[in-house]
Structure formats: structure tokens, C-alpha cells
Amino acid sequence: MLEDDENIEVGAVNCATQNVICHQWFGIPEFPSLLALNDYHGMRQEYRGDFQPEPVIAWLKTVEKEWKWLMHSSNLIEINSIKHFNKQVMSSDEFWIVVYMDGFDCISCQTAKTNAMRLSASLRGYTGIKIGIVSCEDKSANALCYKDQGLPSRPHAPVVKGYSTGPKGTNRQGEVLYNTNEVEQHIALELLERTVRLSLADKIVETDALDSENEASTSGYEKDKPKKEDKKPPERPQQPLWNGPKRRDPVGWGGGGFHEVPRGFRLQ
């Protein structure tokens, strides 16, 4: 059904014979599982729904539309050393959000990078804010992550830090914006995006003026941006597809499922 679609390729993996692909590369949690992937940008989206062709295709088309917007509008600035961090973040008066990842290929890292692209694309056009990403796997960034910023040793979940506006000399390590053990990453970033976007509502500029700015960006998305003859850039989706690991089912009292609350008993 997608044979004529030039943007979507479909493949299948037999996890009984391809254990490395399923578990080491992609961490497949259950069967069947369906992922949308883009290897060039290191993007990942997990499907939650019926495995009939029609709903699957509808989901893929939605992901395709959103990812076109992400590739055009996001502007992640890759920071790869302490020297680069000092130049980009510490010497800046802007508010910075930096996502420190264990690498760009790990399972949680691909999801985190995709969500970081959503954060960046959603805040496109707002002045005074930058979004950075760091691959702590790179040798050049090792000292930045673990000595300068005090991150836990590898492997670690993505860590998101904020660096205040104005001079940053007294707060070099910024602030961790949420505890990854208490809040799911994609939920935290969605809340962060809405909060920042609303707080900067009066500081937005025309996005057309942004296409040629930010020479410091190393996101590599330029080749996916519409050419000048294109009528208009991709539309912002009504609801970005914030995505993360499937939440575990809640366990009822005593571990035996849900129980009816006794009459006269009120949950606090």
C-alpha cells in the first residue's frame, strides 16, 4: 500500500534469528513492535495502536508530516568540547537548554534527540533561547560531560540542563531541569516546551528571517529544508508527537489488579 510513496520504506526483522538487531540495536520490548526510523538524523518513533494496515499507514503519514517539519524547523546546535561550550553557552546572554546524551545511537538517545528536535522546532522564531545537544560518547566531549558538568558515568539517561539568561560565570553547571527517575523524558520536554513558549510569547520574530541565521548550527538539516521555489515550508503540526518508552501498566493494591474503593473511604 506504500509502494508508490517515495518518503517511506518498509522493512521487517525476524527477532528470533536477528537478536542483535532487535535487542542490542533497537531494544524491542515486545512483539510485534513497529518503529519509524530515520538513520541520517538519528530519529525514532514508537507506534502505539492497532496493527491493521489502515491505522498503521495513517500513523506513518502523520509521522512523515511531522518529521518534515522537524527537519526544516529544528536548529539543534551540537556542542563537542569545553572550548565550544564556553564559546556557545558561557559567553552568551541567551537562555540555553542543553541535552546531554550518552551518544547519538543508543535507544534512549535517538528518542531524546527526536524530542529535542521537537523542542527546537516549536521554539523556532523566539528570540533569546538556544537548544544544544552533546554526545558524551565523543572523546572530545568527555571532559565537558563528566568533569565540567558532573554527569553520572556512562551509561546514563539523557540529562537536560538549563543555563540562565545574562552572565553565567557564577553558575557554570546550570540546573538539571527534571529528575529522569521521577518524570518521563518526553513528558518533561513537552511541559518545558509549553512553559517556555508561553513565557516568550512577546519575543517572536518572523520565521522567514531565520532560514539564513545560526551559522553555528551543526544540525545537518539544511539539505532537508524546502528550496526557495517551494511555495511554503512544512506546517507546524497541531500536536507534536512527543514520544517515549511505553508506560508500565499500573499495579493495583496487593498486585492483583484494581479494587473497588470501599464505601465511605476517600482517596487522599
Q: Delimit the domains of the chain by residue range.
A: 13-220+240-246
By CB atoms closer than 10 A (0-12, 13-18, 19+), residue 264 is: exposed
**pLDDT tens figures, 22-80:** 988 888 888 999 999 998 999 999 999 999 999 999 999 999 999 999 999 999 999 99
- The amino acid occupying position 100 is Y
Separation between Cα atoms, residue 237 and residue 253, nearest integer Å: 40
pLDDT category at 253 given cuts 50, 70, 90 is low
Of residues 225 and 107, the one with the higher pLDDT is 107
Of residues 121 and 266, the one with the higher pLDDT is 121
What is the C-alpha radius of gyration for the chain, rounded to an integer number of angstroms?
21
pLDDT category at 196 given cuts 50, 70, 90 is very high
247 within 8 A of 105, measured Cβ to Cβ: no
**pLDDT tens figures, 145-167:** 999 999 998 888 899 999 999 99
Separation between Cα atoms, residue 240 and residue 266, nearest integer Å: 37
Measured in whole angstroms, how far is the alpha carbon of residue 98 from the centre of its chain?
11
Q: Tell me: pLDDT of 170 over 50.
A: yes
Q: Tell me: pLDDT of 103 over 70.
A: yes
- CATH superfamily, with its number, for domain 13-220+240-246: Glutaredoxin (3.40.30.10)
225 within 8 A of 167, measured Cβ to Cβ: no
Phi-psi region of 71 (alpha: psi -120 to 50; beta: other; left: phi over 0): alpha
Separation between Cα atoms, residue 28 and residue 35, nearest integer Å: 9
Q: What is the pTM of this model?
A: 0.80
The residues, any chain, with a CB within 8 Å of residue 177's CB and separated by 6 or more, are: 97, 160, 161, 162, 188, 192
